[in-house]
Structure 1
Amino acid sequence: MNAPPAQPVAARAIAPIGDADTAGVISLWQRCGLTRPWNDPAADIALARKGANATVLVGRDGDAIVATAMVGHDGHRGWVYYVATDPEHRGKGHGRAIMDAAEDWLRLAGIEKLQLMVRPDNAGVQAFYQSIGYGEQQRIIYAKWLDGRELTP
């Protein structure tokens, strides 16, 4: 009798962020180049944790935080942000596992479609999402800072 294939470590160790995880998650996001001067990552985490429509999922390898995804929905579409895998732990299935967990979280909330945004120059990330079944949809994104400042890139 054949044993089932082993799951990646991250698939067995993904849970919502805890209070003690915030600094480690922000550090991972900074190492992965996900933070921007106009977004406060601690405030983003606090907002995601505030209500029932969002969370931050954290994947671990032992005690190390190796993957994250901020996931939420508007009641119709799900979105993921801050998808990160530790550069020293890439290629081990953590990215796929954290995205599987984000998809499962949305399915449990009754959400049928997940969307995400990737900067056009991030070819490596585009290839990753294509490899796990995501397809590009042509959209034009409009934005406006409500405090009147100029648009950011």
Structure 2
Amino acid sequence: MKMRTFKESDRQSIIQLWQDCNLSRPWNDPDQDISRKVAFQPELFLVAEDKEQVIASAMAGYDGHRGSVYYLAVSPEYQARGIGKQLMSEIENRLIKLGCPKLNIVVRSSNDKVLEFYRKLGYMPDDIVSLGKRLIADEG
């Protein structure tokens, strides 16, 4: 397995990966989400590949106060091999180098498998409520 930053030639493979991992939602256009990430902190958009095939991805960001992770996905046939853990470790290292003191992760409360994955990595629920407001509607 090789880990690297996103390349434009990965776009369709990443979108398929997110669909395979049930990360896509009707209100988020994955193509636009990729374009937005590539335009801002592209060095925090990681891809894992095996035999030149995209098998995992993760987007991270840092706003000067907190870091965030989105679209952590590992192809179903590659899950439970430590790839997600390796991606998270690389993200944490990159964020630490930027001076990021804390990493926040948003996970759907019904996604027990992913919640357990993060708990094993040392992430614990914060006593907060995540609020959101769409500022730009995706056309999809």
Q: Which has the higher contact order (CA 8 A, sep 6+)?
A: 2
Q: C-alpha distance in 1, partners of 2:60/2:43?
A: 6
Distance 1:139 1:54, change over 3 A: farther
User: Match for residue 68 of structure 1?
Assistant: 57
Of 83, 89, 104, the match for 1:100 = 89
User: Match for residue 101 of structure 2?
Assistant: 112
Q: C-alpha distance in 2, partners of 1:144/1:92?
A: 36
Unaligned residue ranges in structure 1 (runs of 5+): 1-8, 149-153
Q: C-alpha distance in 2, partners of 1:65/1:53?
A: 17
Of 114, 119, 128, the match for 1:130 = 119
Instruction: State the TM-score, normalized to the length of structure 2.
Output: 0.90
* Most deviating of 49-58 and 100-109: 49-58
Q: C-alpha distance in 2, partners of 1:53/1:84?
A: 17
Identity, % of aligned positions: 37
User: Match for residue 151 of structure 1?
Assistant: none
Q: C-alpha distance in 1, partners of 2:10/2:52?
A: 11
User: Match for residue 6 of structure 1?
Assistant: none
Q: Secondary structure at the match of 2:13?
A: helix
Distance 1:19 1:146, change over 3 A: closer
CA distances 1:49-85 after superposition (whole Å, capped 9, x unpaired) = 1123763100112212111110011111000000001
Pairs within 5 Å for 1:38-49 = 38-49=27-38
Q: C-alpha distance in 2, partners of 1:52/1:90?
A: 27
- Count of matched residue pairs: 137
Unaligned residue ranges in structure 2 (runs of 5+): none
Of 66, 71, 87, the match for 1:82 = 71
Report the RMSD for the aligned CA atoms in angstroms. 1.7
Q: Which structure has the larger Rg over C-alpha atoms?
A: 1
Q: Which amino acid aligns with 1:92?
A: R
The answer to whether the aligner puts 1:57 opposite 2:46 as a matched pair is yes
